[in-house]
Amino acid sequence: MSCDNDGLLQRILRDHWLVAQAKVKRRFPANVAESAAVNVEKVLRCGSEECGFACFVCEGCGAKQTVYFSCKSRFCPRCGKARASEAATLATSRLLNVEHQHLTYSVPSELRSLLFADRSLLVTVAKAAAQATIEAMGTRCKAHAPLPGVMATVHTYGRDLCWHVHVHVLATRGGLRADGVWQPIKLFPAPQYRKLWQHHLLTLLRKRLKGRRGPGRIIGGLYRKYPTGFNVNVMSHYRSGRKAAAYCCRYTGRPPLSERRIVAYDGNRVTIAYTDYRDKKDKELTLSAPEFLVRLLQHVWPRYMRDVHYYGLYQVPRRKLYVDAVAKASRYKDQVRPALPMSRRERLVMALSQSPRRCPTCGGTLRFSELHLPTPSQRHAKNKQTSGREARQLTLRM
């Protein structure tokens, strides 16, 4: 049932999801189709009582006000900003506060169909990009290969929502050597990275797909087709881990498409605006609404799969161990220590208690009184669209 405060994507989903769902089930791998259905259900109930809500009471007149929460789905345009903020907080606690380099590793078109059919291979893609980065940076000092910190984020979408797999890598512009010295690194020669990227990606894919003739022939032919290696772009660099974390959250928390880029919807067709990276020109693409949803939903990640991975100094066992070592060995003394992340309930209570609100009736101060969140079993039952014994609602009163 349509709501008056629906966003544009919610309207399109309510109008055309049933038609698009049949296409999704037919074209997508089963785990992706299931995840797409779960995320659509979340978006459709975003901002409703089912996502939880907070109650406020006016200290002056006693009036009550209810604020409903968003769905927290990465696929939801409404929730992208909040997810980016959470990702920034998490990344800041993990990244070393040193200079960082941004590189983008692109997967050639011949391999994209394999990655579309088997999303578990996307983890292999992230690992290959990290290995290429670590090996290339290790050559800067032959005697003691420096170990950098690497954060790899896998993206599957292009600006026109096509299936275009690439990896955004944030790497420290230097590494910690085995002798305890911080080795600065300023040069990132693209030709070296391209060859190493090709080598590690094809080697790891060949190992994962061992015994499959079709993929084996494709992988073998790519060495001859791309003699200079696969495309790697050396992008910007950032002076501190905090600035790098703020930038990288553009790639870790947002949905594939902002609603601002949907320039037209007439009930049947959707037009999106994008900038073509090949010729740098602004263009528009018009699709039927079901096809638009199919193109958008192909980028939903299967449940329990991560798109952000940490390597080198940023691997969990190493991260806590080497913070003090980096501070001691380098000129970067202001290091961010790993922080224990707060739960969603703790973050909500802190934010709601500290955010002043005004009563629409008398203008007095609204005081936070109750927090209602659905239990995991309730969310799971709703996502799976199953019936059963109703779980107890979690309620916190202040």
Please write the tens of the pLDDT for every residue from 111-141: 999 999 999 999 999 999 999 999 999 998 8
Distance CA 48, CA 52 (A): 7
In a domain, 283, yes or no: no
For helices 190-208 and 121-138, angle between their N-to-C axes, nearest 10 degrees: 140
Percent of the chain with pLDDT over 70: 84
Residue 249 within a domain: yes
Domain interval for residue 112: 81-256+301-329
Q: What is the pLDDT of residues 262-310, one digit of tens each?
A: 999 999 999 999 998 888 899 999 999 999 999 999 999 998 898 889 9
178 within domain boundaries: yes
Residue 212 in any domain: the answer is: yes
Establish if 117 belongs to a structural domain: yes
Taking the CB of residue 1, how many other CB atoms lie within 10 A of it?
4
Q: What is the pTM assigned to this prediction?
A: 0.82
Residue 7 lies in a domain: no
DSSP string, 69-109: -----TT-TTTHHHHHHHHHHHHHHHS-SS-EEEEEEEPPH
What is the domain count for the chain? 1
For residue 190, is it within any domain?
yes
| Plot region of 333 (φ>0 → left; ψ -120 to 50 → alpha; else → beta) | alpha
312 belongs to a structural domain: yes
Task: Give the count of beta carbons closer than 10 Å to the beta carbon of residue 390.
Answer: 10
Q: Which of 310, 69, 76, 282 is nearest to 160 (CA)?
A: 282
Q: Considering only residues 189 and 343, tell me which one the structure prediction assigns the higher pLDDT.
A: 189
